[in-house]
Chain A
Amino acid sequence: MKTAVVVFPGSNCDRDVQRAVSESMKTAVDMVWHEEENFSRQPDLVILPGGFSYGDYLRSGAMAARSPIIKAVKEHAARGGLVLGICNGFQILTETKMLPGALLSNTSLTFICSRCYVRVEQTDNKFTSGLKKGEVLQFPIAHHEGLFFLPDNELKKIEDAGRVVFRYADQATGKAGAEYAPNGALNGIAGICSEKGNILGLMPHPERATIPHLNGGTDGIRFWDSIANAFAERGVC
């Protein structure tokens, strides 16, 4: 499996994702500058990392969504290739319209960095098939704009289609929903996937729960394993 991490000016989790993916999935990782128009080595998984692309000075992710590399990312996705957007990467995916919705300011109007629990809502996609539906994982969050928003009718559509992959949850009871969202996300949505299940965007950072001796926990390892195992079974898309 080959992974490409896109680096935008202002990305700051690019090297973190590189480390997490190479240590957990043992895959080769190419770092690809946003000005490239093509991937020099066709990746199987493209990751849009967290950070503050272009300083997030316009809307989070809005400038990055217009970077030259995005065309290649879209083509890759159209071929059924895997695209994972984490935090700012999720914001970029919504700005490119590869995923629906928008990420608005947290209801607290502050940046929040903390441990965070999410429930796995569906496993019928290319990322979470190795996880158990209903299980609660801890992935840290660190964002100022994480309130997932969609108009009611569209929200219902993605809910009905089972495209909500992760929902904020209570660690102790396993209950999930809006009341457990640290940011006010509608329906407590932490991550959603595309119709075909090959594009996933999520606000929490699985890469921060990957290195066992660090303070972010280890649940991310299971997420990366799930992606790698599913890929190994399925092979190149």
Chain B
Amino acid sequence: MDYKSAGLSDSEYKRINELLEREPNPLETQLIGVMWSEHCSYKSTKRLLKTYPSKGKYVLQGQGENAGVVDMGEGWGFAFKVESHNHPSAVAPFQGAATGVGGIIRDIIAMGARPSVSMDGLFFGDPSLKKTETLSKGIVEGIGAYGNAVGVPIAGGKTFYSPCYTDNPLVNAFSAGFVRLDKMASSQTAKKGDLAVLLGSKTGRDGIAGASFASRELDEDSKASKPQIQIGDPFEEKLLIECCMDLLEKGLIASMQDMGAAGILSSSSEIAHKSGCGIDISVEKIPLREKGMAPWEIFLSESQERMLLIVEEDKLDPVFALAAHYGLDCAVVGMMTDSNRYRVYENGELIADLPTSILGDTPEVIWPSAEPANIKERIAIDPSNLKSIDPENDLLSLISCPNGRSKHGIWEQYDSMVQLHTIEGPGSPVAVVEVPDTERACLLTMEAEPNKCWTDPYMGASETMALSLRGLWISGAEILGMTNCLNFASPEAPEKFYELEQSIKGLADTCRSLDCPVVSGNVSLYNETASGQIYPTPLVVTAGLLKDRRKHLASGNAGTGDTLYIVGNLCGSLGASRYQVMKNGKPAGKTVRPDHDKEKLFRERAMKTAADGVASSGRAVAGGGIAVALANEAIASDRGINIEINSSIAAEELLFSEGGARAIYAVPKEKADSFEKIWEGFPCTEIGTVGGDKFEWKDMLSVDLSKLKKAFLEGCF
């Protein structure tokens, strides 16, 4: 085996020889090559990810496990993680997206949690192209086909269009589940003498070496990569969920790990390394889907719907009995040892013998970083091109454009209600689900601001993170933690590495000052094709907790006669805003500079507003600015809105600027005094009332509610 075709560099191969004090055999080279790939090792980002704040009062399990776990109270943990499936979805949209959903669900199972809620971040290309239509159709159908059958509700998500994703769409699959704290599973609790058991699908030639596929750019040959795409079977996955839940309930599993990238190899070596053990695996004991598979194919296969269980010998019989009950394949393939060696046998012959540390403690790569040469061009903004001459038309354009309009065409294809615990589903800025058998609710926001990250990766990422927190604060939720998916181009280009580094810094700084630990995540690099690179796309999902779900302050609940307020500055920035991109065709200008002290003042007041129940509705100001926030509120509440703001700010700045801690609230008249008292010490402006059947803004615009709705729902006016 040529080490280069195993993806290893000269220096890496040299290092391997030193560590082993010999040359690795071809199988060993292959195994190490995959574990040292970007996708498995995070070698380019490990150092940067360490800068994330990881501790918080609710964190039970931080980064390093299959998923993070936070404490929901009353004995419940909440395991959650987001993961990319970008490269497979670009080549085979339906299967790529479907197996993305399946893969993240198994990460949740591996924590012992029943998968309870999913969300998806989708980034599609130029919406006017046939190619985008084909890719997005396939991706959405794939997510639906898998998620619906496996019975995990898709309670929300994010869909974003930009020409930068035309050849390289992104699929970020999020899943989460509730777990009784005494039933939590781990990949670090295997011990000598325990048996390694494969549960689920047989191993086939599908998805061989998908991890290395995801560790390079997409090129014309990617179509030839089809064998590297896995095929999903949600029925098998559903059985796997039920079987694993039963096994955990009965206390039959010592440790477990899902099989994702690099299949049996990564799951078994991780469990051995993290548990401080060794493992012996007999390759001929692995149930196969087809004959004649070589050991390296078997170890690297990414066949879906498999779990690795570590079982104490005396519990083997009941494990096999449960597997049979669910009609799942189950086989003992190896045994944990105390050797700290990863050993592979084929019919008794030792064919690979590596220290577990060589597979587990992977090397780092430090890439040079350089500010992009065109950064000045990216941040330059020409206000003269941005005048809003017809605010009404601009507003209608903003709420009907692909990024602004309702995404019901997508989310109605997903089952958002199965499992009977969805309180707020897709279409709402915050997804809300019940915590089982309690009065509590778990709240989730998913955010990404690629345009803002393009013009300024640090500030864009900061704003992304703050936006996800604001939504939860307004709802009244305490922040539990965040998971993130970092989608970037090749780190080997210094300008691209700079974007990555700055984005992570923006997320880390914001999380640190605003008390949001990072508990899990995933990095997807090399998102580029011959036609270009994607914008820096950090996506975050933040989880919050409401101890009393009745205290949830929702949006879209404004009542006739309510007074409307804007809290925060009247004006943000037009830089890289939805309005600016619509007018200029591509993002330019910086968003608002992060101000964490101000965010804290906002947090305190927003939380109190919800807790005291003084508002009937609250909504963060996000894409499209105050005008779009108000329009969305009018549509969701099915009520007219009347606004009058006396200000010398230019129309486009006042209506459409974005960024910063800002929200609109609808407040019942009798509670206006209490509301204003809460917001003392923070900018708070009374701007109008709720009622009638028009969105009227004095001296700006007047649109019938029905026209507004049509624009939003149908994407035309």
Interface residues of A (CB under 8 A from B): 9-10, 12-13, 15-16, 19-20, 33, 50-52, 54-57, 110-114, 140, 142, 144, 205, 207-208, 210-211, 213-216
Contacts and interface: CB of A to CB of B under 8 A. Distances in A.
A10 B418 CA distance: 13
Contacts of B234: 52, 55
Interface in B370-422: 411-422
Contact of A111 (B233, B413, B419, B425): B413
B239 interface: yes
B120 to A, nearest CB: 14
B417 A142 contact: yes
Nearest 8 A/B pairs, CB to CB: A12-B151, A55-B235, A16-B420, A52-B149, A142-B415, A113-B415, A111-B413, A111-B144
Nearest to B411: A113
A16 B425 contact: no
Interface string B545-586: 000011000000000000000000000000000000000000
A215 to B, nearest CB: 5
B326 A207 contact: no
A52 B147 CA distance: 11
A113 to B, nearest CB: 5
A113 B417 contact: yes
A57 B151 contact: no
A215 B413 contact: no
B141 interface: yes
A213 B549 contact: yes
A33 B421 CA distance: 24
Nearest to A9: B239
Given A12-B238, A52-B149, A55-B149, A113 B416 contact: yes
B417 A215 contact: yes
Contacts of B151: 12-13, 51-52
B318 interface: no
Given A55-B149, A55-B235, A12 B418 contact: yes
Given A57-B235, A112-B413, A16 B418 contact: yes
Contact of A9 (B148, B326, B412): B326
A113 B460 CA distance: 34
A236 B598 CA distance: 66
B64 interface: no
Nearest to B422: A215
Contacts, number: 92
B423 interface: yes
What does DSSP make chain A's interface, helix, strand, loop or mixed? loop
Contacts of B233: 55
Contacts of B227: none
B515 interface: no
B353 interface: no
B276 to A, nearest CB: 38
Contacts of A110: 141, 144, 412-413
A208 B238 contact: no
Interface of B: 141, 144-145, 148-151, 233-236, 238-239, 325-327, 411-425, 434, 549-550
Contacts of A144: 148
Given A208-B420, A214-B420, A214-B421, A111 B235 contact: no
B415 A211 contact: no
B134 to A, nearest CB: 15
Given A52-B148, A54-B235, A111 B415 contact: yes
B420 A20 contact: yes
A52 B148 CA distance: 8
A56 B149 contact: yes
10 contacts: A9-B235, A56-B149, A110-B144, A111-B415, A112-B412, A113-B413, A142-B417, A214-B434, A215-B424, A215-B425
A193 to B, nearest CB: 25
Nearest to B147: A111
Q: Most B CB atoms within 10 A — which of A10, A113, A208?
A: A113
B241 to A, nearest CB: 10
Q: Most A CB atoms within 10 A — which of B144, B150, B417, B549?
A: B417
Contacts of A9: 235, 238-239, 326-327
Contacts of A33: 325
Given A10-B238, A52-B234, A111 B148 contact: yes
A93 B220 CA distance: 49
Contacts of B550: 213
Contacts of A13: 151, 418
Given A33-B325, A208-B420, 11 more contacts: A9-B235, A10-B235, A12-B149, A52-B148, A52-B238, A57-B235, A110-B412, A111-B148, A111-B414, A113-B412, A205-B417
A181 to B, nearest CB: 15
B530 to A, nearest CB: 33
A186 B549 CA distance: 41
A213 B415 CA distance: 18
A208 B421 CA distance: 9
B238 to A, nearest CB: 6
Contact of A16 (B416, B419, B424): B419
B180 to A, nearest CB: 16
Nearest to A57: B235
Given A9-B239, A215-B424, A15 B419 contact: yes
Contacts of B236: 55
A208 B417 contact: yes
Contacts of A114: 412
Contacts of B419: 12, 15-16
A34 to B, nearest CB: 11
Contacts of A112: 412-413
A170 B150 CA distance: 31
Contact of B420 (A19, A52, A57): A19
B126 to A, nearest CB: 23
A140 B417 contact: yes
A142 B422 CA distance: 14
A208 B419 CA distance: 9
A52 B235 contact: yes
Given A52-B235, A142-B418, A12 B150 contact: yes
Contacts of A52: 148-149, 151, 234-235, 238
Nearest to A207: B420
A9 B326 CA distance: 7
Contacts of A55: 149, 233-236, 238
